[in-house]
Amino acid sequence: MSEHGWREFLGADGVDDWVVLHGGATAAFRAGSVGEAARLAAALAEVPGLEGSGALLTISDGRLTVRLSRDLWALEPPHVELARAVSALAREHGAVADRASVQEVQLAISAKPNAVDVDFWRAVLGYVPMADDNAVDPLGHGSTIWMQELGVAKPLLHAMHVDVSVAREQAEARLGAALAAGGRIVDQSDDPGHWTLADRAGNRVCITAWPDGWTRVPRDR
C-alpha cells in the first residue's frame, strides 16, 4: 500500500463532503433528528459496494458519520465512487455535510525499535490490528493507537503524544483555539500541515491538516 490511493481520492471530483483523516475518508452529515439519521443509515446500507467494504457508520443526535475505511492506506479507487454515492443519497434525504465537525484523535506511542510493544497495547485495550504498527477499536469508538518507531540515535523526549487529524481548512482555527487556551508551539517546521503543541506541563499534542491538506510525501507502507 502507498499514498497513491488517498492522493487520488483527494484529487477526485464530487468528494467535497469528505475529509481525509489519518484513518481514511470520513464525512459527517447533519440530519434533523436521530430518526432521520437512522433512516439515512438504512438507505446507505443499500448502496452497492458498501456492504462488506469495512465502512463504519455512526449515529449520534441528529448526525450520521460515515467512514469509508479504518486506515488511510486502505483507500482505493473504488472508494471515490462510493463516496459520491453516499453524498448523493445524503442530499436526497436533506442531510447536510459538516466538514468542520470531522476529526480523528489518535494516540502515538514512541519507542526505540527493540522496545516497540504493539502486542501489549492490543491486548490491554482489547484492540485488533489494522496494520503492523497499530491497534484499533473493533467497534470503531475508541482512538487508534499507533507505534512511532524512533531511530536508535534519536533521544526519547516523550513516550506518548496525541494526534488530532482535522479538515485542512479547520487546522489553523484549532491551533488558534489551543494557543488561546494556554498552549504553546513546540515545533512548526511542517506547517501548515502539522504543528506540535504542549500544555503547561509539557504534554504534547499534534494538530495536523495532513493528509487532508498534504504538504509532503509520506513514506510508503
Q: Give the pLDDT confidence of 165-181 residue by residue, as tens digits.
A: 999 999 999 999 999 99
- The pTM score is 0.88
Q: What is the mean pLDDT of residues 83-99?
A: 97
pLDDT in tens, 191-212: 888 999 999 888 899 999 989 9
H or E element in which residue 109 lies:
strand 103-111
Mean per-residue pLDDT over the chain, rounded: 90
Q: How confident is the model at residue 11 (pLDDT cuts 50, 70, 90)?
A: very high
The pLDDT assigned to 217 comes to 46
Q: What is the mean pLDDT of residues 100-123?
A: 91
CATH class of 103-208: alpha beta
Q: From 76, 62, 131, 69, select the one nearest 104 (Cα to Cα).
A: 69
**Domain boundaries, given as residue ranges, for the chain:** 4-101, 103-208
> In this prediction, what percent of the chain has a pLDDT beyond 90?
68
Residue 90 has pLDDT above 70, yes or no: yes
Nearest 5 degrees, angle CA 170-CA 174-CA 177? 145
Residue 25 has pLDDT above 60, yes or no: yes
The pLDDT assigned to 111 comes to 86
The pLDDT assigned to 54 comes to 87
4-101 and 103-208 in the same fold:
no
Residue type, 36: E
The pLDDT assigned to 157 comes to 67
Residue type, 163: D
Q: How confident is the model at residue 2 (pLDDT cuts 50, 70, 90)?
A: low
CA–CA distance, 53 with 62 (Å, rounded to integer): 25
Fold of 4-101: Alpha-Beta Plaits (3.30.70)
